[in-house]
Structure 1
Amino acid sequence: MSYYTSLTGLKNAQTELNVIAHNIANAETTGFKKSDTAFADIVSSSVITDPALTVGIGSRVSKINQEFSLGPIEQTGSALDLALDGEGFFTVRNPQSGQTEYTRAGGFTVDGQGFLKNAQNARLQVFPVNNGVVDTASLQSVQIPATNAAGSAYASVVVNSDGHVVATYDDGSNAELGVVAVANFIAPDGLKQMGSATWQSTGKSGMATYGQPGTGVLGGLMSGSLERSNVDIAEELVELISAQRYFQANAKAIDTATQISQTVINLRN
């Protein structure tokens, strides 16, 4: 029994070390959210077991929690670097798979077709604007026309603090292309991690609800800035030392159980 109990501890310690290593490896990943490991005990009992004599048989990983606290905001000066200073996620769509994904990494660029995309080529989603009215019931990829109605060439694009995407042309005219759509979830820790600091909705997270930046509980939009990882290196190193001690203690318990078993075998011989 002691072997199995300590073995569960070793496995759990390895899982915790893996989570901590993943956090540390992504300490410089834009928009990354750290995780932590939660454990629960395992108890062996039956309906006739005396509660005073119940013996535990180890531990298990009950959950690996994602922590969506705000990371430090870094100013970059780039007009298409975006950060949210509160709750919510940027909404992007993968042009190959057509899947909708969510991210806190707001580094966008303009591709050859005029779409605003991130490093994974997923296109930023916005609410269309019709005659000055924002249509929050639909989403579309924001695309910058190469020329305006007068034939002037595209010059630059900016995203205002209220999420409005505005393109400027050589003749000095502006064209509003949409409003950045910010998604929120009832249970964001239920989102499925897809890598590259992106997530997809699941049954545990609930369906996304959308709104404009700065409305309700949604964070305001900061142009020219990026949200860094929320990993605290000092905290992770302390957790790493604790996990190592946890692993060593369980390994020592197995070693002690082995010595006791060997002693009993020698007595019988």
Structure 2
Amino acid sequence: MSFQQGLSGLNGAAKSLDVIGNNVANASTVGFKQSQTQFADMYANSMNRSGNSPVGIGVTVANVAQQFTQGNISSSNNPLDIAINGDGFFQMSASASDLSPMYGRNGQFQLDKNGYIINPSMNGAFLMGWAAGASGGDPVQLQIDTSSIPATPTTSVSTKVNLDSRLAVPTVTPFNAADPNSYNNSTGVTLYDSLGNPYSMQTYYVKAAPTGTPPTTTWTVYAKIDNTTLNDGATPPAPVALGTMTYDSTGTLTQINGAAVTPTSVMTLTAAQLNDPSIVKGGGNFAAPINFSYAGSTQTGSAFVNLAQNQNGMPPGTLSSFSIDKDGTIVGSYSNQQTKNLGTVVLVNFANPNGLQPLGNNLYAATGAAGSPLVGKPSTGTFGSLQARAVEDSNVDLTAELVNMIVAQRVYQANSQTIKVQDTVLQTLVSLR
């Protein structure tokens, strides 16, 4: 008389209840992947496979398989929270000195005191990725560089204006920045020296009477930096023009400083002019001249307007915030309105994720059964995309798990009943006289 089938059924049902209980317990664990108990039947066989019994000897737990299906994505207020939408795992390392790779999908990250991105719910594991400027190679521990961006001195200014052809020649000469009757219009731009000191520069446009047939019109451009008008350095000083622009009868810019316009035509402020002691301040200087481009400027019978203007200098900037794009790029935003790549979060995928070995704390280790780890940039190939300020919820379906629990409970009761029947049969045999 055998109790094997009933006992194996009890053990299998108990194992199934353990797995279901673990799933239910982790229903609110971010990034958790539910498990499923997989069973197989057992038959008694001899070594040469003869003498098979048509009656099995019970059930065995063949595998406890993780179900790596996508969990729901919920938004959060933490800018470092990251959810994976699609395939892939974050690569983590246990500590600053232990770089042995581990993998997980819990994206609840924070910064430690040294600027490293860690996951407290993964026992403080370090997030791995590519350092700023790298686009491949072995992942390293990601560290946010909080150093400031140095100042960049201005070396070029691009201005695009429309000059009003209907305006009369100024009634006052020579040009005087303090007298609006000595010029027609003006624009302003901020320049920066080697230390990021700002300088307010005004450019003034003075129209000359049209000449020739068909007529051409020349506009002289003067400049004033802070309170100093560009001048010849004489006593008393006389204003010096930055340059001239000549337009033909169609309103097209044809000459800069009396020479035919080319793609490289500019007006230039020399380094000597810029480094005039009455201009520079705060210990900064201009190591190079500043070129002024007026490409695309026009002269028409409509009001003066500054169509576009930009310059390439900037003051120093401190890191004010950072964000993570869907392709894993960590973008730092600085107080000078500049952005900078601070690193890239990478994803790792496996041919058989079910071959990963669970380590606890929502972490897994690679095994031979999982296949070689494939490292790549999010949103490329088979890798999923990242969503910042969000986390991936557990993929446990509580309703289904509670139903499975009821079924496993009934299976346990049924197997216990077979043991009871076997006991009754055995008792009957023992009682024979």
Tell me, yes or no, whether TM beats 0.5: yes
Measured in 2, the distance between the counterparts of 1:172 and 1:110 equals 23
Give the secondary-structure state (helix, strand or coil) at the position aligned to 1:63. Answer: strand
Q: Which residue of 1 aligns with 2:264?
A: none
Q: After superposition, where does 1:1-269 map in structure 2 within 5 Å?
A: 1-46=1-46, 47-49=49-51, 54-95=54-95, 97-119=98-120, 120-130=123-133, 134-150=134-150, 152-268=317-433
Q: Which moved more, 1:154-163 or 1:104-113?
A: 154-163
CA RMSD of aligned residues (A): 1.6
Task: Among all aligned residue pairs of Structure 1 and Structure 2, give the percentage whose two residues are the same amino acid.
Answer: 35
More displaced stretch, 159-168 vs 225-234: 159-168
Q: Which moved more, 1:24-33 or 1:153-162?
A: 153-162
Structure 1 Cα separation of the partners of residues 331 and 143 of structure 2: 11
**Which amino acid is the alignment partner of residue 82 of structure 2?**
L
Could you tell me whether the CA contact under 8 Å between 2:149 and 2:318 is conserved in 1?
no
Q: Deviations over 1:2-26 (max 9, x none)?
A: 3111101111111000000000000
Give the number of the structure whose residues are more often helix, by fraction.
1
- 1:147–1:169 Cα contact (<8 Å) kept: no
Taking the aligned partners of 2:126 and 2:339, their CA distance within structure 1 comes to 22
Q: Return the offset for 1:171.
A: 3.4
Which consecutive residues of structure 2, in runs of 5 or more, have no partner in the other structure?
Answer: 151-315
Aligned partners of 2:4, 2:142: CA distance in 1, in Å? 56
Q: Displacement, 1:81?
A: 0.9
Mapped partners of 1:124, 1:31: distance in 2: 15
The amino acid that maps onto 1:147 is S
Helix, strand or coil at the partner of 1:55: coil
| Residue type of the alignment partner of 2:124 | N
The higher radius of gyration belongs to 2
Measured in 2, the distance between the counterparts of 1:48 and 1:18 equals 37
More moved, 31-40 vs 195-204: 195-204
Q: CA deviation at 1:149?
A: 4.2
Question: 1: CA distance between counterparts of 2:403 and 2:136?
Answer: 45
Q: Report the CA distance between 1:152 and its aligned residue.
A: 4.6
Per the alignment, in what secondary structure is the counterpart of residue 30 of structure 2? coil
Q: Deviations over 1:81-104 (max 9, x none)?
A: 111110001111111543211111
* Long gaps (5+) in structure 1: none
Length-normalised TM-score, structure 1: 0.92
Deviations 1:223-267 (A, max 9, x none): 111000000000001110010011001111111111111111111
Tell me the matched-pair count. Answer: 263
> Secondary structure in 2 aligned to 1:20?
helix
